[in-house]
Amino acid sequence: MVPAAALAEELMRRGHRVALVSDERGVRFPGLFDGVQTHVLPAGRLAGGPVGWAKAAREMWRGRAMARELYRTFKPAAVIGFGGYPAFPALAAAFAEKIPTAVHEQNAVLGRVNRLVAGRVDAIATSYGKTERLKQKYEGKAHHVGNPVREAVLALRARPYPLLEEDGIFRVLVTGGSQGASVLSKVVPDGLAMLPVAFRRRLQVTHQARIEDIDGARAKYAELEIAADLATYLPDLPEQLGWAHLVIARAGASTISELTAAGRPAILVPLPGATDDHQTANAREITAAGGARTIPQNAFTPSELAKQMQKLGLDPAALENAAGRARACGKPEAARDLADLVESLDAPTAKLPVGAAKPKEAFA
């Protein structure tokens, strides 16, 4: 939803009218789509065996019919999908109405719905230079634009890496994505406990944890006398990222794009159950560039974390160099480039000036 919101903001800045079509989950993100009209459509989800599949197909077909009805009044110039089952009914309706379409893939592996529609859409926007499971015959309509991030994160690019003095505070941000990650709450406190005492006393930890894990993690940090702030949700995540010397995180698409936009080094623990193991793929570029270290979850032990922390944290120059390498992987113009691609789908009337009497319209 974050790249969809970033695209909506850029298109509206250019004078276009934008609407969001999603399921009930997609419209719940507070503050992301202010000023954007939203439409909730049934989407279904292919799970639960043959009975569940049949139910999902009925829901998607119903959502497609509702989307076609919407298009007859909204008359979009383009329909843009951002992956996931909620995008499918809107895209299927666009195919039926012969409306130009594109999809954006946030991960380094083309997702199931994007694979399903790849042959029908007019353009495929990718976040990585190499996207796995993108068929060679579709590479001609693929465009590497990057993954748009929030303006507050993009603004961090203008801020220098925070000064790290040899005996100064060492700030660590621990985040498992929007849902948190139990493995981080279990391993990180014990891993930090294995650091040399002098290093451990310098730590200031901000840790996002699941609600069922937060009390145990808080007690562990207190027992170890490690300064730590814990929360189930970090509304000021961009500010926390700006002050962090090191991030310990999952390797979701938004996390990687924010790390590379801001230029912050990380220890990444990909979610092992992610579809098509896409989080491992997401982590490859920043890791190969030297901006992060990736530890598979089955090898993510307190001792391994402590070892990697010491390699990074006891050499301020190396850590700052890693930050620069992470930053070099960023695509700060992703929202602009994605908006350019969307406008090109309706090329004859694309470049309308801001404030034009009849702005073009788009669904995301």
φ, ψ of residue 80 to 5 degrees: the values are -115, 125
Mean pLDDT of 215-227: 95
Per-residue pLDDT for 348 more than 60? Answer: no
Token pair, residue 114, equals 């994007």
95-104, 121-130, 229-238 — which is least confidently predicted? 229-238
Task: State pLDDT tens for residues 315-343.
Answer: 889 999 999 999 999 999 999 999 999 99
What strand order describes the sheet that includes 361-363? 37-40, 17-22, 361-363, 78-81, 101-105, 123-126, 142-144
Per-residue confidence (pLDDT) for residue 354, from 0 to 100: 33
Mean pLDDT of 289-308: 96
Task: State pLDDT tens for residues 47-65.
Answer: 666 766 677 778 888 989 9
φ, ψ of residue 144 to 5 degrees: the values are -85, 100
Task: State pLDDT tens for residues 243-269.
Answer: 999 999 999 999 999 999 999 999 999
Under 8 Å between Cβ of 276 and 133: yes
Determine the residue type at 139: E
25-39, 121-135, 168-182, 299-313 — which is least confidently predicted? 25-39
Reported pTM: 0.88
Per-residue confidence (pLDDT) for residue 48, from 0 to 100: 62
Per-residue pLDDT for 357 more than 60? Answer: no
Per-residue confidence (pLDDT) for residue 180, from 0 to 100: 66
Token pair, residue 306, equals 């402590």
Q: What whole-number distance in Å separates Cα of residue 226 and Cα of residue 194?
A: 12
Per-residue confidence (pLDDT) for residue 54, from 0 to 100: 75
Q: What whole-number distance in Å separates Cα of residue 288 and Cα of residue 105?
A: 21
44-53, 88-97, 212-221, 280-289 — which is least confidently predicted? 44-53
Q: What percent of the chain has pLDDT over 70?
A: 90
290 dihedral zone (left: phi>0; alpha: psi -120 to 50; beta): left
